[in-house]
Amino acid sequence: MDPLALTLIELGAVVFCLGLLARLAGRIGMSPIPLYLVGGLFFGAGGLVKLEGMHEFAHLSGEIGVILLLLMLGLEYTAAELVTGLRRSWQAGVLDLLLNFLPGAGLALILGWGVVGAMVMGGVTYISSSGIAAKVITDLGRIGNRETPVVLAILVFEDLAMAVYLPILTATLAGVSFLMGLQTVGISLAVVTLVLVVALRHGHHVSKAVHSENSEVFLLNLLGAALLVAGLAAAMQVSAAVGAFMLGIAISGATAHSATRILEPLRDLFAAIFFVVFGLNTDPRSIPPVLGWALLLALVTAATKMITGFWAAKRAGIGIPGRFRAGAALIARGEFSIVIAGLAVASGVVPADLAALATAYVLIMAIAGPLAARFVEPVVRLLRRPVRRPAVRTSGQA
């Protein structure tokens, strides 16, 4: 068959199936990310149907999906909000980092994956899914709850930590020297600092440069700027994803709201392809051997996220139900964990089992997170319900 025809047929079939999976996820009230990963496993190497014609397009589309995910995450915050959130949440953020990075790193060392594997798995288990958390909070009507700002502050801290972590990880996976690694981190920190300063003082100029009343022009400006900044960041040995994230922070006000509305369909399309691509590159036969480790890791890190949210909400003076709600909102892992694992697998430095473990782990956590957030409050209320004791009759009673 003609290669172009084969690519179009395969791409059309995959995108159509993604639509069916997204519809199914919406009906059962869960994030579509686990279903996208399962779809990739179904179509990928070792799956029931092997795709031959769309690998190059899928790889590039997946990269664009990561860039759009991080760009739109940056659009959710202004530079001032990031700085304020960092000041308020740094103690909870440090606790979050320690409690949730160490289990993944420790398991990688136990499995003999070395320091690089430990660094990758630590990142996979550390970062919560901002997308899933935001969707769960919205769907459950908890935006106005007192614990919601606490949850968002921790997510902001995690996003800032990723701005430092991803360049370090990229340099480590590339096998650069310690000196070059320090140089990469220094450049990354300088870029982050510069963008924050520009966003705080001149964010309106950046917004004005990309804004247009014409939606077509606006979309082209946004997408072009995101790809350009991501490419320049990658050329400076800084993660392309971080470059897109910082561009999103620099865009503020009404421009940011309009940008989110315009980019959302593109983000959903390319991000879905990204998750499928990760599944395509994972042999489903490699998952059963690591499934037990994934379940153990899921139990441990679900508990550590609960501890993080509970402690942070307690410091903010929030009641016991709100503390549990805060912890449950942080449990889900998703897009960022897969981005980290995808970078590691693409480098060829880490073993293939890491991709299988990361996939199984994210599948479990992306399903468990929304379920925990939905049912934690009824469970807490049930546990706190006073036990009715039978009345004790006195001797004078009949």
Window from 124-128, 196-200, 245-249 with minimum mean pLDDT: 196-200
Per the structure, the complete domain to which residue 304 belongs is given by 55-380
Q: What is the pLDDT of residue 239?
A: 65
Report yes or no on 324 lying in a domain. Answer: yes
Q: What's the average model confidence in pLDDT over 158-167?
A: 77
Note the pLDDT tens digit of each residue in 266-283: 888 887 887 777 777 677
The pair of structure tokens assigned to 99 is 């409690």
Higher pLDDT, 180 or 155: 155
- The enclosing domain of 221 has a CATH number of 1.20.1530.20
Q: What is the pLDDT of residue 307?
A: 96
Confidence check: pLDDT of 381 > 80: no
Q: What is the pLDDT of residue 299?
A: 96
Confidence check: pLDDT of 324 > 90: yes
Note the pLDDT tens digit of each residue in 209-220: 888 889 899 999
> Would you say 150 and 192 are in contact if contact means Cβ atoms under 8 Å apart?
no
Report yes or no on 151 lying in a domain. Answer: yes
**pLDDT exceeding 70 applies to what percent of the chain?**
84
Q: What is the pLDDT of residue 398?
A: 43
Note the pLDDT tens digit of each residue in 275-320: 777 777 677 788 889 999 999 999 999 999 999 999 999 988 898 8
Report yes or no on 19 lying in a domain. Answer: no
Q: What is the DSSP string of 111-160?
A: TT-HHHHHHHHHHHHH---HHHHHHHHHHTT-TTSTTHHHHHHHHHHHHH
Evaluate the CA torsion angle 300, 305, 308, 310 in order and state its sign: negative
Q: What's the average model confidence in pLDDT over 366-392?
A: 74
* Cα(178)–Cα(184) distance, integer angstroms: 10
Confidence of residue 172 (pLDDT cuts 50, 70, 90): confident
Window from 330-344, 345-359, 379-393 with minimum mean pLDDT: 379-393
Report yes or no on 395 lying in a domain. Answer: no
Report yes or no on 142 lying in a domain. Answer: yes
Report yes or no on 393 lying in a domain. Answer: no
Note the pLDDT tens digit of each residue in 110-138: 999 988 899 999 999 999 987 678 777 87
Q: Tell me how many domains the chain contains.
A: 1
Report yes or no on 138 lying in a domain. Answer: yes
Window from 98-107, 155-164, 347-356 with minimum mean pLDDT: 155-164
Confidence of residue 382 (pLDDT cuts 50, 70, 90): confident
Note the pLDDT tens digit of each residue in 331-348: 988 777 888 888 887 777
Higher pLDDT, 239 or 93: 93
Q: Can you list the alpha helix ranges (DSSP code H) found in the chain?
A: 3-28, 33-43, 55-75, 79-110, 114-126, 130-139, 148-173, 178-210, 215-235, 240-250, 253-280, 288-315, 320-329, 335-347, 352-384
Report yes or no on 361 lying in a domain. Answer: yes
Q: What is the pLDDT of residue 101?
A: 96
Q: Left (φ > 0), alpha (ψ -120 to 50) or beta: where does 8 sit?
A: alpha
